[in-house]
Amino acid sequence: MNKFILIFLLFYTSLQTTFGQNGKILVIDSKSKEPIPSAHACFEELKTNKKHYQATDKNGIVINPSTQISEVAISFVGYKNVVDTLQPNKDYIIELYPQIFDLDQVIVTASLTPQKADKSIYNVKVIDSRKIELKAATNLSDILKDEINFQVNYDPALGSSLKLKGLSGNNVKILVDGVPVIGRMGGNIDLSQLNLYNVDHVEVVEGPMSVIYGSNALAGAINIITKENLHSTYTASINTYIENLGTYNFDAMVAYKKGNSNFSIAGGRNFFKGIYLDVDTNRSQQWKPKEQYNADFYYTYNKSNNKVKFQSSFMDEHLLDKGDQLPITYRTAHDSWFNSQRFTNRLEYDLKLKNDYSIITWVSHSIYQRKKLTYTKDFIDSSSKLVKDNTSNDTTTSNALNYKFLFGDQGAEKKLTSLSGADINFEDAIGKRIVDKQQEMTEYALFSSLIYNPNSRISIQPGFRYSYYTRFKSIPIPSIVMKWNPNQYLSIRTSYARGYRTPSLKELFIQFKDINHDIRPNDSLKSERGHDFSVSVNLNTDKTDKIHFTNVELSLFYTQTKDRIYLAPQLDVGTTTFKYINISYFNTIGGQLSFKYSFYPNFDFGFGFGTVGTYASLLYSNQGLSKYKFSSNVSLNTSYMIPGIGVKVYLNYKFTGLDYNANLDEKPESAALDEGIKWSTIEKYHTIDISFIKKLLSNRLTLTCGVKNLLDNTIVLAKGSSGDNPHTGGDGSSVGYGRLFFSSLSYNIYK
């Protein structure tokens, strides 16, 4: 240790000789004492408020351009931001503190103002840009599939869906910058449509968030936070991603900041050629060819205590379902195109008031359209003609108008703070498969929560929401969250919350039918209602200047749901026909244990174990643990920076245990014995991903390559019908399209 200090003092002395007094600033890692190249520095002259934007060079040095006393804000990915006051023409060494376990990551979910994750009363998990880069993740399903107690299901045609804490994706609120994502198919958002090329980080809150976010948040909320240029005059990036099995992605972004204005525009194209899993003569591909275009734009204006932001996001996807050649001549085939478009616009206004109070209000409009067009393809004359009948072509359009108003002083260092607000959420659906061609519903809601801090170690937050629905009975939603910090290393959180989910317009009114699916609506569905109890304990030693760190977390939960909305097979009309019904009682219980170790900055190791028990019944509200069907999963990941060559190796392993899904037992002779429920299963499987990352040109160029799905998983055995997922049959469930090799390149320019 003394040798290390001596080397640093000699290094510091040599820098003083080199610097002189020219306003040079050396930015270093506070733990390793290594210089940080390409860190962003914003200098603001205190008298004139004039701003200068710079970046550190390959030696971690930046010149202070100010000729008077100024304030500097320095930031870099994976480090806490530092703000300091500087004298002109004076040299400084500024240390950035690394964020080892993301507990110091600034979050905004369920909060009025940004705050650190470990300061939040909620247990918020942060998936930052470093992890997205390590996993070479391109969309939301890539980054969530390896998380403990998360299960991502794949449908080769409809995309990927999510199950969290034993509850399906229609109980998980998915948001982008706080705006609900629309366009659910079969109750689920296709996670592969949510790209990460413009994402700063992802915030995950497990457990009911219904007080803040309303319906569809019984299992939790996932908030995707997009990038915003805060520290550079301009920045630009280009990214490519290629897989050997036929994936070719490209995206680019440019952002510019001048004075009080800041704007960015980004776009990308993703292409997948499709996969044949079986070697035969059929044209139909199990994994359908898909092409996707994305575009994003934002403009912000900041002046003193006011901020205005407008942002726009557009997605256009084209999926081709090739049909097999038709007998007797085999001259023709029916090919169907599924075109999906999502367009969202959002306008936000923030105002900082006196005494730490703030107002945030925003309004957004989203439109989602899914169009199906079927053509008869003639292989002799190479022609294609649109099929003109009532079932082969269809267009369904959904509109959502959301308004949110927030007021309070939450986050301030006070004994008592508050957050109150109002929501208006309007949604409609238009299409020929909808009952009466058009349906709509609206929610009007008021909510409020108080945070009481009797001392610096304890926080208590009761909350309440009251919603009025135009189609359903009004529902009062209470919650209470408590946090206790016995010392600087340990935090304990416990919570109770009531959750609910109203039936969607599609579940109530839309009939979806094609060659593979027949899903019928039910306009008499009841709202799901639930109670959730959870507790978590977190031990974090990342509080000192040492380079060894550990983080241990244990969490437990119990969720009780009544009238769960379920897609049930209708055995009396055929095995491919499904209808939405209510299951009287549906409960989940489980927990997870995670351990993380870091030997900074070269080695990281993580281990996680999770288990979820599921109980379903038409007769009884609760039974003993012996009646629960438990599914377990294990995750292991590690990364190592190879000395000398600067290549980081990342390995991720996950074991997904036997998965249970509840199905209705339609046979009277056995229904009384099994409480009306039959269980289908999906077999256990293992996945391994490996990647290699190399940074060049002062961290501006990143090269990544590796292998995903090393064990070559495609389909795992599924037994029994799975009502909640009508695309999983008796033969198996899709979990991937085989082993693939990938490479990606990312280049960034900033000033």
Q: How much is the pLDDT for 147?
A: 92
Q: Are strands 416-431 and 261-272 parallel, antiparallel or unpaired?
A: unpaired
Contact 575, 721 (CB under 8 A): yes
Signed CA dihedral, 720, 721, 722, 727: sign only: positive
Average pLDDT of the chain, as a whole number: 87
Give this prediction's pTM: 0.90
User: Which superfamily is assigned to 223-228+236-750 in CATH?
Assistant: TonB-dependent receptor, beta-barrel domain (2.40.170.20)
Q: How much is the pLDDT for 693?
A: 97
Q: Which residues, at least 6 apart from 470, have a Cβ–Cβ distance to it below 8 Å?
A: 440, 441, 442, 443
3-class state of residue 668 by DSSP: helix
Q: How much is the pLDDT for 13?
A: 47
Over range 593-620, report the average pLDDT: 92
Biggest distance spanned by C-alpha atoms of the chain:
91
Same topology between domain 2-96 and domain 106-222: no
Contact 507, 520 (CB under 8 A): no
Over range 489-502, report the average pLDDT: 91
Q: How much is the pLDDT for 4?
A: 46
- Indicate whether 553 pLDDT > 90: yes
Of the chain, the percentage scoring pLDDT greater than 90 comes to 50
DSSP string covering 208-238: --HHHH-TT-SSEEEEEEEP---S-SEEEEE
- Within 456-550, residue ranges assigned H as helices are 505-509
DSSP 323: P
Q: How much is the pLDDT for 614?
A: 93
CA distance 292 to 339: 10
**Joined tokens for residue 109:** 């979910």
Contact 580, 564 (CB under 8 A): no
CA distance 609 to 656: 10
Signed CA dihedral, 694, 697, 700, 701: sign only: negative
Give the model's confidence band at 400: pLDDT under 50 very low, under 70 low, under 90 confident, else very high.
Answer: very high
Instruction: Classify 2-96 by CATH class.
Output: mainly beta
DSSP string covering 354-375: GGG-EEEEEEEEEEEEEEEEEE
Q: How much is the pLDDT for 490?
A: 93
Q: Is the peptide bond before 289 cis (omega within 30 degrees of 0)?
A: no
Distance of CA 207 to the CA centre of its chain: 15
**Helix, strand, coil share (%) of the chain residues, nearest 5:** 10, 60, 35
**Joined tokens for residue 255:** 């952002």
**Joined tokens for residue 113:** 């103002």
- pLDDT tens digits along 478-495: 999 999 999 988 999 999
Q: How much is the pLDDT for 6?
A: 43
Helices and strands counted in the chain (H then E): 6, 47
CATH code linked to domain 106-222: 2.170.130.10
Segment of 156-165, 281-290, 493-502 carrying the highest mean pLDDT: 493-502
Q: Which of 36-40, 102-106, 550-554 has the lowest mean pLDDT?
A: 102-106
Give the model's confidence band at 21: pLDDT under 50 very low, under 70 low, under 90 confident, else very high.
Answer: low
Phi and psi, residue 580, nearest 5°: -75, 130
Q: How much is the pLDDT for 568?
A: 74
Q: How much is the pLDDT for 544?
A: 61
Q: How far apart are the first and last CA of the chain?
A: 37
**Joined tokens for residue 167:** 């509850």
Over range 55-66, report the average pLDDT: 88
Give the model's confidence band at 695: pLDDT under 50 very low, under 70 low, under 90 confident, else very high.
Answer: very high
CA distance 219 to 205: 9
Segment of 9-13, 293-297, 383-387, 411-415 carrying the highest mean pLDDT: 293-297
Q: Is the peptide bond before 328 cis (omega within 30 degrees of 0)?
A: yes
| Burial tier of 201 (Cβ tally within 10 Å: 0-12, 13-18, 19+) | buried
**Joined tokens for residue 422:** 């109002």
- Indicate whether 574 pLDDT > 80: no
Q: Are strands 416-431 and 438-455 parallel, antiparallel or unpaired?
A: antiparallel
Strand partners, 272: 247, 290
Contact 594, 608 (CB under 8 A): yes
- pLDDT tens digits along 575-606: 467 788 888 889 999 999 999 999 888 999 99
**Joined tokens for residue 84:** 């300091």
Q: In the 3-class helix/strand/coil scheme, how is 420-451 assigned residue by residue?
A: EEEEEEEEEEEECCEHHHEEEEEEEEEEEEEE
Per-domain boundaries in the chain: 2-96, 106-222, 223-228+236-750
H or E element in which residue 7 lies? helix 2-19
Q: Which residues, at least 6 apart from 553, have a Cβ–Cβ distance to it below 8 Å?
A: 536, 537, 538, 539, 592, 593, 594
Q: How much is the pLDDT for 22?
A: 67
